[in-house]
Structure 1
């Protein structure tokens, strides 16, 4: 025999009821030994509860009641008026008294299923199937616990078998779910989602071979598909794993559904009413083919009851008194944690029972509180439980590291007796993000890395294009899914949960201006539970640089081509490093010196390996490299070469930002600090290449008078020997023994045969002298300027962070 159960969405007007009739027809043609169990149609139960709530307040419910009748009566082939009249009479009585007992509520809620079973029976008879509407109250006997009644198995089984034996073989039974009756013939219900339980009871009592549960989803997934788009359908489940999922809130399973099926080894298949005929669904049985099943489930609206009392340390019977108080007040406890250093216990309860739990404990321990033996009893609300089903504790290290990296710290941690389920108590704010993070780890899905790009000038725009072009290949090769969820400048921010596409510039034009861009990005990431966050700063903004701490404290790793954060006062520099360590965040800035050259990383490795770096000397600026490389050997004025460099995009719009030497000085300072030399910007001796008379002019006037620089640098050029060229260099010297340093930025003469003299174009070069290398420096040379080079360097830092997000 086969039992088929249909949920509320499967019985809704339109496609739902149409599909349900087709499924029943197909099964009836194949197997007349069949029984159907139905829920209330659509959202009837919720709507009836809402009507009860209105009536209890004494409010007018006529509009809502009319709407309910219209939906339930849609295309009905029979009159449902007698049921409507009975419900309306009960609601009117509630409104008059402004109260409703659990018993009366059960009477009203039962009509959802009664209407549903009669409606469907009439539809089936119209389609040529001899169907009979059956009230499960004539089958299932319960106790008097209205709202969540317990079934008497022995009597209910006998009644069910007798009833079904009396039916003619060709009759198709259509049975109400959710409802039953007590020994007085009064209506009871089996709890919310009790229709699934009704179906499993019927399958048990009739010794069915299979129970098929038709819902609005394709089966049971590794997580809630509404929360996890990458959730994977589970083909087969054991009874034990299914029971765990049901216990932790899987909506399509009732917590009590599995036991009656397991008792008689009846398989359960979860199917989609709206799926095709070839669907496989999820099969729940005693011996699934794949015994290694992992899934996530969560329960919200939880509270943590804190009980602390140093004066109770070592006293016997405290735990017993706590749970006796809860038992007397019908309070169910989920997770428990008990301290050892001082008397403390924490218990998880439903949020709606939290105040009652606190009150019951304060009453039980009234004298202990007065004596000072109990210090605190309070409820912490807004929590949720995340259950990781099918994972042993010894495999939890990697998911837990991912939680820590995303700044998610469980309040409680619990491993079930079976060792097969791990439970975490989290704030509801963290719950969705934790689900995303752990699901990705458990099922080896592409690691989603969410990127916020601030600054989309030449470098920023180039970087965005590089990421969008390379995203697919990185996904295939590294299993990393790079998603740019935010693109911002000082006035606007474009946000996209699933990442921007190639049309981002057009979209950004259409959005309004925003204020406080940084907080807007952080808030968006939090609201959408985005994990593995990286903020990229491609600006030269001090305001953005000063917001790095805020980003780090809110879960972002940081990549920057902006040098300001590394050249702030040394106390601020150190303070930010402490914030990074405290929040377990990374800060990569390889492009701060040398654009795309691997300079900073090399220096870090040398320093950490114990190599004593004594000197770093070189051409640090690609802009000034281009200017003096060309000026030294070409028959052009200094003004001509500078303007040529500007046109090629090597200098800033105002070349004085390069010619001042400040940029080279900042780079030199960054390298000094990498060697743990506590230097300030003022410690760098800078030769400013701009004449005093031109330093503070408006930009337009500077360009008009730039020719005044020609004789100054012509004189420098004339002083060169035949084999010499001009180079603008940074020079850091460090005496480790005496702990003294020299930082200098200046224009020098260099032999054309030297490494400094041989660089071409806009190349940078760095000579690194160490005690081990002696007079033979380690030389790093390559392109030192250009949007593509810098963007590629920033991209490299992003990939390095992405690969260590474990």
Structure 2
């Protein structure tokens, strides 16, 4: 025989109830021997409890009760007058008394299952099935603990076996879940979700072939799909793993369900009423494979803390704690304790926290007077995340991922034999924490959520590069890049699931005004993890937002050079904030566009290599300008116009010609060597004559020919076979606090590496003590939005791989 159990959502009128009847009919038509255990229809239990509360407060409840009766009976001809009459009289009595007992509550809530079983029985009879209503109040005998009664196994088993002997064969018994009765025949309930427990007891007593638990999802998942969109269905679990999941909050299972099945080795299959073809999750005693199986969550809990230095080394403290709590019917789900300063953390149900504190204060009253105990307190608004199957040897991975996302667990503990780890976190961080852990430990893509500031040439190119490459990157590297925000100086476009290819028109038409706090709030509201903020502006004021972003769990990437070239104090403040918040800041494109210049210098410097000088053509724009001017018999203005037309220069080319861009790059390199130079200390040769430095861009562009005579003379005054190069140079004793920084136009022999530079290439010579006169040379494309965007993209992937 197979036992089929259907939950409340499976019995909701409309698609659910009809699906349930179809599944039962299919089993009958296939000559399968079955019994059916049912929960209350839809939200009947919650509705009955709500009406009971209203009656106790003498609030109007008749309208809600009538609506309940109408929905429950629907169009079925079944006689429910006895159940409805009982409810009416009970609510009337409760309204008069203004209170009710647990015994009365059990009697009220039980009617949900009784009504459900009677209606399912009638629905099956209407389809020609020989169905029989089976009231477990006559079968499952329990103790007198109303609200959470414990079955009396021997008597219950005898009753069930006898009942099925009398009503079996071609009969389909429709059994009420959740309820039983004590020796006085008073109605009792087995605790919330107790219908699952009823089904497993029936399966045990009848030595069933399998228990099939029908619900509204395809099975048990690696995490709650409501919290983690990437959660995957688990095909196989062991009873022990399922028991851990049940104990730590998996609502699809009742914590007591597993034991009766394990005792008889009866498989449990969790199936979806609404997706009958799915094979669900099969739970057996046989292990399928080792490893982490699922994340389970307990939400309605509180953390009770007992602190006292005087308890260190004293015996019996834990026993006293558990006795005090046990005497007050308070169950402990997690306990964690320290030793240097005696502290014990206990996780209990949230509604028992106050009672727990009172019990412990009473137990340790004398210890307060002796000052052995100095504090007993409770932390509300916490949740427990349990990683089922987690071995401590690999626990550092999810733990590090949490810290990276600024989620610091309040406490954690592990089982010695079960390979399970539980974490207590702030409830406000639960959603994000579950996603972070899930993304780290399961075979799903790690989601990286990106906010991009600035969508000009570089920013716009980067956005399109990410959107174009996202699918390939997810397939190759299991990293899902999700651009959730694109902002310019006035508007931001939000999409928690990621912007689409039409982002440019969307930000124009649907963008909203914002502050940086709005973007931080959006990320928090939607529990976005692994946050990266990318600054593709050239904006000086914007860098003041860096600290706020860092403090709110964003890593930073910047093609904007400003932050690294402001005062040395600001530079150090940003680094201090990064260290305190354990965040990263990458800016490879600040100096060499897509070239690995900063990475190389960092590696050399951190390895102890003494860098003695750095020299090169640091601007792709000016590289193209002087390479073109030196190699061709053309006016300087013509070479400059070609650079402008190719998009190598800034919109106002004076921003390149003044030398400030190259000077910033030299300063950035100096600071990578821990030098404390300021921008004002750089010796910069401005390539713009003084009479052309003022005025607007259009006026300057109209007077470009005035540059021709000046640079024709400079070119002519060179030695034979020499060419012009605009270089940045860092020299001096670089082991001291400051170095010598210069930006200047020089003439070099054509047959040197620097002299043979072509196009818009950048060129770097890094001189070190170990390499002597033979520098490390880095050369490659140094200008262009595509190259710079690709460099930023590289920084995104570096950050995504970290942790």
Q: TM-score, normalised by structure 2?
A: 0.95
| Structure 1 equivalent of residue 677 of structure 2 | 679
CA–CA distance in structure 1, aligned partners of residues 262 and 287 of structure 2: 13
Contact 2:612 2:734 in 1 (8 A): yes
> 1:237 touches 1:291 (CA, 8 Å); kept in 2?
no
Task: Tell me whether 1:435 sits opposite 2:434 in the alignment.
Answer: yes
1:504 corresponds in structure 2 to 503
Task: For residue 342 of structure 1, report the CA deviation from its aligned partner.
Answer: 2.1
**Aligned twin of 1:255:** 255
Deviation string 1:346-387 (CA, Å, 9 cap, x unpaired) is 111112222222222223333433443322211111111111
Distance in 2 of aligned mates of 1:421 and 1:14: 41
Structure 1 position 708, deviation (Å): 4.3
In 2: Cα distance, 1:745 partner to 1:190 partner:
82
User: CA separation in 1, counterparts of 2:771 and 2:316?
Assistant: 72
Contact conserved, 2:292 with 2:387, CA < 8 A, in 1?
A: no
Say if 1:199 and 1:211, in contact at 8 Å, map to a contact too: yes
Distance 1:598 1:315, change over 3 A: closer
Cα shift at 1:3: 1.4
Q: What SS does the aligned partner of 2:613 have? A: strand
- Partners of 2:435 and 2:529 within 8 A in 1: yes
Q: Which residue does 1:222 correspond to in 2?
A: 222
Which residue does the alignment assign to 1:451?
450
Give unmatched runs, 5+ long, in structure 2.
none
Aligned to 1:157: 157
Cα contact 1:132–1:171 (8 A) shared by 2: yes
Is 2:665 aligned against 1:667? yes
Counterpart CA distance in 1 for 2:149 and 2:735 is: 83
2:579 alignment partner, one of 565, 578, 581: 581
Instruction: Tell me the equivalent position of 2:319.
Output: 320
1:709-758 deviation per Cα after TM superposition (whole angstroms, max 9, x unaligned): 44443443443344333322211113246766211112222333333332
C-alpha separation in 2, matches of 1:315 and 1:245: 35
Q: Partners in 2 of 1:545 and 1:565 — Cα distance?
A: 6
Counterpart in 2 of 1:192? Answer: 192
Q: C-alpha separation between the residues in 1 aligned to 2:6 and 2:438?
A: 29
Please give the alpha-carbon distance, in whole angstroms, between the structure 2 residues aligned to 1:24 and 1:398: 46
Question: How many residue pairs align between the two structures?
Answer: 803
Q: Identify the range of structure 1 (84-93 vs 781-790) with the bigger mean alpha-carbon deviation.
A: 84-93
In the alignment, the residues of structure 2 paired with residue 188 and residue 740 of structure 1 have an alpha-carbon distance, to the nearest angstrom, of 82
The residue correspondences of 1:496-645 to structure 2 (distance < 5 A) are: 496-516=495-515, 518-645=516-643
Partner of 1:772: 770
Q: Deviations over 1:64-123 (max 9, x none)?
A: 223322321222122434422321232233233332221111111111111111111111
The alpha carbon displacement at 1:307 in A equals 1.2
Question: 1:434-477 deviations in whole A, cap 9, x for unaligned?
Answer: 32233233333222222221111110111111112222222222
CA distance in 1, matches of 2:512, 2:498: 20
In the alignment, structure 1 segments of 5+ residues that lack a partner are none
Q: Greater CA deviation, 361-370 or 251-260?
A: 361-370
1:257-305 CA-to-partner distances (Å, cap 9, x unmatched) read 111111222222211112234x322222222544656221111122111
State the distance in 2 between where 1:715 and 1:293 align: 74
Q: Is the 8 A contact 1:238 1:291 kept in 2?
A: no
Task: Tell me, yes or no, if the aligned pair for 1:388 and 1:423 is still in contact at 8 Å.
Answer: yes
TM-score, normalised to structure 1, is 0.95
Does the CA-based 8 Å contact 1:237-1:293 persist in structure 2?
A: no
Structure 2 vs 1, CA of residues 305 and 636 (structure 1 numbering), >3 Å: closer, same or farther? same
> Which sits farther off after the overlay, 367-376 or 472-481?
367-376
Looking at structure 1, the residues matched to 703 and 775 of structure 2 have their Cα atoms a distance apart, in angstroms, of: 41
Residues 300 and 383, structure 1, Cα contact 8 Å, conserved in 2: yes
Aligned-partner SS, 1:142 = coil
**Worse-matched range after superposition: 496-505 or 689-698:** 689-698
Verify the 8 A CA contact 1:613 1:734 in the aligned structure 2: no
Distance 1:737 1:201, change over 3 A: closer
Secondary structure (helix, strand or coil) at the match of 2:755 reads helix
- In the alignment, what sits opposite 1:180? 180
Q: Whole-Å Cα distance in 1 between the matches of residues 464 and 548 of structure 2?
A: 27
Report if the CA contact (8 A) 1:73-1:80 is conserved.
yes
Moved more, 291-300 or 656-665: 291-300
Q: Distance in 1 between matches of 2:746 and 2:690?
A: 20
SS at match of 2:306: strand
Please say which of residues 504-513 and 200-209 is displaced more in the overlay. 504-513
Distance of 1:611 and 1:422 partners within structure 2: 43
CA distance in 1, matches of 2:647, 2:64: 68
For residues 715 and 63 of structure 1, the distance between their equivalents in structure 2, rounded to whole angstroms, comes to 98
Within the alignment, does 1:469 sit opposite 2:471 as a pair? no
TM-superposition CA deviations, 1:17-59 (whole Å, max 9, x none) = 1111111112123346421111101111111122222222322
Map of 1:334 onto structure 2? 333
Structure 1 contact 32–170 (Cα < 8 Å) conserved: no
Q: Which moved more, 1:216-225 or 1:121-130?
A: 216-225
Residue in 2 aligned with 1:110? 110
Task: Decide whether aligned partners of structure 1 residues 541 and 737 sit closer, same or farther in structure 2, where only a CA change above 3 A counts.
Answer: closer
| CA displacement, residues 2-24 of structure 1 (integer Å, 9 cap, x when unaligned) | 21111111111111111111111
Query: Kindly tell me: are residues 396 and 738 of structure 1, through their superposed partners in 2, closer, same or farther at Cα, counting changes over 3 Å?
Result: closer
Provide the aligned C-alpha RMSD in A. 2.2
Q: CA deviation at 1:570?
A: 1.3
Aligned equivalent of 1:132: 132
